Chain A
Amino acid sequence: MRRTDPESPTTPPDGRPLSEQPRWRKDFPIHLPEDEYVSRRDFTKFMVLTSLAFVAGQFWILLRNATRKAQAKPAIRPIVAVADVPVGSVQTFQYPGPHDNCVLVRQGESTFVAYSQVCTHLSCAVIPKPEVDRIHCPCHEGQFDLSTGRPIAGPPQRPLTRISIEILGGMVYATGVNRRVV
């Protein structure tokens, strides 16, 4: 790469002559265009490093999946008494862990559905609206079908994580977690 002035030890970024530059720029000359110049080889090397980072990400996901599989299945836990949940109402609960917020909706006399309250778009808390048969995410106006948990409007692409429930002896029990892609 040629310098504009072969006598000048540096090319100042403000374009002023060397005599008007601070002393340190004369003492520590750096040819700035050369310093900023990235050769195609260097750029290719950078792209290969990016490729390596993506591979690391892939194997990280694989590792996370392995640890998830190694975890024990969540225990069956009672949520609420059937009599305490009127038809068309919503009950919140935590399952499987204390920070995993979920919602239980009684759609009919014997119809219950339960989902994770975490929106599959950007993890906002969703709000069930049984009167319109929908689950609404207020952050980006996502809409899920109440009966299936599948996205029907807005940016979410994946269905809500479904919580398996069973009714035994007048109590509603959470029995498992069901993540879905479609």
Chain B
Amino acid sequence: MKRPRFPRHERMTIVNGILSIVMTIVILQLWLLTATMNAFLGGDQSTLAPAALASLICLLLNAGLLRYLYTLDR
């Protein structure tokens, strides 16, 4: 069986770090969604597409971090 790259306590630190970053990004996305909804209700169309793109980038970052999380034990 191949030995994991990091010892257990280091892996837990990495996992906790990844979780913190993911939660921060999700909170950022929540703010982005509320700001976008406010702009849409007020008829401001200029921010909608950039906000959607930014949210998509946040999702890709989160997905990348999750993927790295699952490869940690390999």
Contacts and interface: CB of A to CB of B under 8 A. Distances in A.
Partners in one complex: yes
Contact of B42 (A44, A55, A69, A158): A158
A48 B48 contact: no
Interface in B7-44: 15-16, 18-19, 22-23, 25-26, 29-30, 32-33, 36-44
Interface residues of A, number: 30
Interface stretch (A5-13, A97-105, A173-181): A173-181
A41 B15 contact: yes
Contacts of B32: 54, 58
B59 A44 contact: no
Contacts of A50: 26
Given A55-B29, A58-B52, A61-B36, A179 B41 contact: yes
A51 B48 CA distance: 17
A39 to B, nearest CB: 9
Contacts of A45: 66
B19 A58 contact: no
Given A59-B52, A180-B43, A181-B42, A40 B19 contact: yes
Contacts of B26: 47, 50-51, 54
A120 B42 CA distance: 9
Nearest to B64: A48
Contacts, number: 90
A65 B39 CA distance: 11
Contacts of B39: 181
Nearest to A157: B38
Nearest to B53: A58
Given A54-B26, A54-B33, A58-B33, A179 B66 contact: no
A112 B14 CA distance: 64
Contact of A54 (B44, B55, B65, B70): B55
Contacts of B37: 61
Interface in A105-158: 120, 157-158
Given A54-B32, A181-B39, A48 B66 contact: yes
Question: Which of A40, A47, A182 has the most chain B CB within a 10 Å cutoff?
Answer: A47
B48 A61 contact: yes
Contacts of A52: 59
Interface of A: 40-41, 43-45, 47-48, 50-52, 54-55, 57-59, 61-62, 64-65, 69, 120, 157-159, 161, 178-182
